[in-house]
Amino acid sequence: MRELSESQKDILAGCARGGAQILVGHPLDTLKVRLQTSASGGSAHARGTASAPAFSGMFHCLRETVRCDGVMGLYKGASSPFVGCIFYSSVLFFAWGQSTRFVRGYWNIPEQDALPIKQLVIAGMMTGGMASFVESPVDLAKSLLQTQYNARYFADGQARVHYRGLFHCATSLVRAGRIFTGLPATLMRNVPGSCAYFMSYELICQRLQTPEHREKSTVLLAGGLAGIVFWGLIFPIDVVKSRIQTDAAESGDSRRQYRDTLHCFQQIYHKHGLRGFWRGFLPCMIRAAPCNAASFLAFETIRGLL
């Protein structure tokens, strides 16, 4: 059988990484997105916007989600990243592999040598830019499905459910011309975020072991810390992205709150102050280390077997 190319190994291992990320991190991601896009404070039954209940914090959101949707409610929208991981996570690590090979070739850096910080920054930014065009539609469908609420959440007994499932959501977005809603915010998040993510992972690994041999403990530590660095750096723009992508999910432009990314920034600050940019931060950071540790372990393990 013909040996796999380096790019094919990146793609296949990237698929494994995506699956591990969803299995470990999706429930907390659901809480993060719901907190980012809901009103703040009060009871979910008594207060909230026309389309979303209000949650006072992570544990209130968790309790209401399980009460109204059951435990599987924490996996709302999971079909989007599970399907999308074959494409998005593959693209992410394919882009990272191609970017690192490009900078090595351009600066004549041998494969066995560790990349300097300058080249890691450039490769990370290239990766974030390329992957955003895939992640934005996947995240859009995921966020819309995660923020659907049945009648139990509201005192008026009216459900806020607009999509029957992933296929209906995706086709509706395509017909409405909204498939790339939130792309500018995704680029603003992913270009610096991917730079910090991959650079911190590689630098920690370089400190502890050689590129040819990375113990599982090193991968877990570096992956977990890379996740913390990523989310700690870009969380405010992730709030903006989530708000834009779930804005007026049930209608067209006539009911949208935000004209563009800058307007969303301004509105969040005007209504909620700086605290508005950090809603959902607790579940995000609880998720960051174990989720990304498992992701990199899956990637490195599968790639090592190929």
pLDDT per residue, tens digit, the chain (306 aa), is: 578 889 999 989 988 888 888 888 888 998 999 999 886 654 444 344 456 778 889 999 999 999 998 888 887 766 655 776 677 888 999 999 999 999 999 999 998 899 999 999 999 999 999 999 999 998 998 889 888 888 888 877 777 788 888 889 999 999 999 999 999 999 999 999 999 999 999 999 999 876 667 889 999 999 999 999 999 999 999 999 999 999 865 545 557 889 899 999 999 999 999 999 999 999 999 999 999 999 999 999 999 888
In the prediction, which pLDDT does 25 show?
Answer: 86
In the prediction, which pLDDT does 45 show?
Answer: 44
Between CA 64 and CA 70 the distance in angstroms is 9
The predicted model scores a pTM of: 0.89
